[in-house]
């Protein structure tokens, strides 16, 4: 079976998940290709693909707008009469609830000829800079919050509000993800299109208010709630933010120029997270204060360890 996984990752979390899924599919004997939609914005030829994966972070209670725009460019797949519809699966990373992420993404996939076999969220620390900046003064009490979260699992969602780092993936998290990948690959191998889930099915599993909120977050609102600014005094003209920007929002005339902020921001905060000179701030997020430094060594080890059934 031929598989392709489309990937967008702003901080490294989703990349860990997608690379793990790709390895699992390869270990099961399938041919799997990982396509980074930022490094290669040209949609791949999926005419011979049996199973399509889509992996991206949740942004503003919806799928990342980078992936949304990429799927908009994907050509519709002609459906041969002698085979059922093509099958896909969805992977997301977030620090809270995915809201309308999987619902709207399934609608997009359906429009271009792919039915969703299932969707899986992997919880990571919340990387949204305004949230992290607001709760930063509480960081000295983080040990208490993490201890409570470890003993009282039902409170983890509530505790993640003051302690955004509480959702650290574990080996159990990775095991559950592995079982999900195995399940969708088995169904895709036998072309079990009857197991596919409609967007309405995916919406029923989510709080209705958050699904509506995710749908209501237009690009204009997202840009207003990101509002990237560059401090010319701190900027070292390294160009990292320009290289990290997936939408071409940040540009510069030459190597000695301070990057300019354009109008095509998609709210991924990649420039903020990766700026080495702490020269970028945003909406309610002073430079550095809301930065997420990516997955911890323990998290990386969990995803790279040999997976056992």
- Per-residue model confidence as pLDDT tens for the chain (309 residues): 999 999 999 999 999 999 999 999 999 999 999 999 999 999 999 989 999 999 999 999 999 999 999 999 999 987 655 566 789 999 999 998 999 999 999 999 999 999 999 999 999 999 999 999 999 888 878 777 777 777 666 667 777 888 888 888 989 999 999 999 999 999 999 888 888 999 998 988 888 999 999 999 999 999 999 999 999 999 999 999 999 999 999 999 998 999 999 999 999 999 999 999 999 999 999 998 999 999 999 999 999 887 554
> What is the rounded CA–CA span in Å between residue 113 and residue 256?
46
Measured distance CA(172)–CA(178) in Å, rounded? 10
For residue 193, the model assigns a pLDDT of 86
Tell me the C-alpha distance between 194 and 247, whole Å: 37
Other beta carbons within 10 angstroms of residue 142's beta carbon come to: 15
With helix as H, strand as E and coil as C, how does the chain read?
CEEEEEECCCCCHHHHHHHHHHHHHHHCCCEEEEEECCCCCCCCCCCCCCEEEEEEEEECCEECHHHHHHHHHCCCCCCCCCCCCEEEEEEEEECCCCCCHHHHHHHHHHHCCEEEEEEEEEECCCCCHHHHHHHHHHHHHHHHHHHHHHHCHHHHHHHCCCCCCCCCCCHHHHHHHHHHHHHHHHHHHCCCHHHCECHHHHHHCCCHHHHHHHHHCCHHHHHHCCCCEECCCCCCCCCHHHHHCCCCCEECCCCCCCCEECCCCCCCCHHHHHCCCCCEEECCECCCCCCCCCCCHHHHHHHHCCCCC
Phi, psi of 91, rounded to the nearest 5 degrees: -125, 135
β-strand partners of 115: 87
Confidence at residue 162, expressed as pLDDT on a 0 to 100 scale = 86
Question: What are 57's two structure tokens?
Answer: 């972070």
Question: Domains in the chain, please, with CATH?
Answer: 2-124+169-217+296-304 (3.40.50.360), 130-167 (no CATH), 219-281 (3.30.70.20)
pLDDT of residue 140: 75
From CA 197, how far away is CA 199, in angstroms rounded?
A: 7
**Number of Cα atoms under 13 Å in the Cβ half of residue 61:** 19
Q: How far apart are CA 92 and CA 77, in angstroms?
A: 23
């Amino acid at each position: 079976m031929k598989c392709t996984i489309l990937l967008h990752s702003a901080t490294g979390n989703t990349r860990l998940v997608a690379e793990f899924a790709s390895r699992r599919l390869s270990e099961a004997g399938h041919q799997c290709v990982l396509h980074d939609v930022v490094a290669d914005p040209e949609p791949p030829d999926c005419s011979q693909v049996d199973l399509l994966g889509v992996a991206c972070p949740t942004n503003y209670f919806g799928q990342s707008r980078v992936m949304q725009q990429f799927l908009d460019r994907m050509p519709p797949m002609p459906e041969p009469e002698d085979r059922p519809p093509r099958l896909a699966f969805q992977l997301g990373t977030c620090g809270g609830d995915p809201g309308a992420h999987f619902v709207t993404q399934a609608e997009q996939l359906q429009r271009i000829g792919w039915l969703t076999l299932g969707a899986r969220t992997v919880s990571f620390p919340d990387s949204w800079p305004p949230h992290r900046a607001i709760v930063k003064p509480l960081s000295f009490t983080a040990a208490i919050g993490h201890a409570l979260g470890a003993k009282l699992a039902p409170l983890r969602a509530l505790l993640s509000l003051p302690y955004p780092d509480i959702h650290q993936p574990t080996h159990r998290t990775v095991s559950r993800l592995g079982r999900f990948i195995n399940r969708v690959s088995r169904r895709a191998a036998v072309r079990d299109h009857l197991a596919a889930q409609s967007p309405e099915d995916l919406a029923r599993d989510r709080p209705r208010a958050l699904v509506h909120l995710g749908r209501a977050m237009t690009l204009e609102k997202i840009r207003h709630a990101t509002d990237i600014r560059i401090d010319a005094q701190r900027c070292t003209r390294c160009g990292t933010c320009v290289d990290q920007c997936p939408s071409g929002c940040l540009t510069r005339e030459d190597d000695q120029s301070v990057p300019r902020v354009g109008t095509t921001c998609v709210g991924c905060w990649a420039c903020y997270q990766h700026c080495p000179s702490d020269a970028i701030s945003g909406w309610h997020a002073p430079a550095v204060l809301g930065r997420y430094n990516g997955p911890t060594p323990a998290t990386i080890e969990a995803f790279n360890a040999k997976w056992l059934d």
